[in-house]
Chain A
């Protein structure tokens, strides 16, 4: 984070980065469970776009650099295995979103300097829809890739 700050010659960009750094620090906090850490607004969002915006992203665009590993068909919507990874530098957060679940945002991961931007988990899916993998960059851009997963048996109210 510090190197990103010093590299930046443009003042406006620096200010933006300071703001995002402040946000990051506020979100992470020193205790592992700071009260402000859980982004309720984002997790309550009904739409993919809204949830990404609530996670502090500026522009949203599709990118081949973000890799989403998801099945074509999920026999059981109660546990759909998903993997998200990217080799890009400067990733701040990775989000997993399920378009047609009652709340779109499934999980968010803070990418620290000690770990790779590479996560796998399992989610519930109420019906066939697009799954989004989003990388929120340090400069505020949100880059996503998506894939439709066909669900044969939906989870009873994801």
Chain B
């Protein structure tokens, strides 16, 4: 099972900056292993972030996104204690959801 996603969200000047670090190999499907065989692609395809249960961001990734994807975005408003939830699904159909509070 994949490691937890790290989520940090801070209110500053009426905006909330969210920083996310997902844990995923993000294999591109172009890399070869030691034996010269292509390592099959394995990457996060869909990311969904909700604030207090409402979806605020939908993102799609291709295999070009780095290993352990980093994502930063800005919420208009937001306050300490708001609940953030992030879900991802990869091309093998595995999913993971993590939650954090706005600080």
**B71 partner residues in chain A, CB cutoff 8 A:** 119-121
A116 contacts B45, C-beta separation under 8 Å: no
- Give per-residue flags for A17-50: 1 if the beta carbon is below 8 A from chain B beta carbons, else 0: 0000000000110001100011100010000000
Cross-interface CB contact of A124 among B45, B51, B54, B65, cutoff 8 Å: B65
**A101 partner residues in chain B, CB cutoff 8 A:** 64
Interface of B is mostly: strand
**B65 partner residues in chain A, CB cutoff 8 A:** 106-107, 121-124
B69 contacts A114, C-beta separation under 8 Å: no
User: In the complex where A119-B72, A124-B28, A157-B31 touch, is A79 in contact with B66 (Cβ < 8 A)?
Assistant: yes
Residue A115 interfacial (CB < 8 Å)? yes
Residue A98 interfacial (CB < 8 Å)? yes
User: Which residue of chain B has its CB nearest to the CB of A103?
Assistant: B62
Bound CA span A106–B45, Å: 10
User: In the complex where A78-B66, A123-B66 touch, is A33 in contact with B87 (Cβ < 8 A)?
Assistant: yes
A120 contacts B72, C-beta separation under 8 Å: yes
Cross-interface CB contact of B59 among A79, A107, A125, cutoff 8 Å: A107
- Give per-residue flags for B35-52: 1 if the beta carbon is below 8 A from chain A beta carbons, else 0: 000000000011010110
- Give per-residue flags for B63-77: 1 if the beta carbon is below 8 A from chain A beta carbons, else 0: 111110111111111
Cross-interface CB contact of A158 among B50, B60, B64, B73, cutoff 8 Å: B64
User: Which residue of chain A has its CB nearest to the CB of B45?
Assistant: A38
User: Which residue of chain A has its CB nearest to the CB of B30?
Assistant: A157
Bound CA span A110–B57, Å: 6
B60 contacts A108, C-beta separation under 8 Å: yes
Residues of A within 8 A of B (CB): 27-28, 32-33, 37-39, 43, 78-81, 83, 98, 101-103, 105-110, 112-116, 118-125, 155-158
**Interchain residue pairs with CB less than 8 A apart (24):** A32-B48, A32-B50, A32-B55, A33-B46, A33-B48, A37-B58, A38-B60, A107-B59, A107-B65, A108-B60, A112-B55, A114-B56, A114-B76, A115-B74, A119-B73, A122-B65, A122-B66, A122-B70, A123-B66, A125-B64, A156-B32, A157-B31, A158-B30, A158-B63
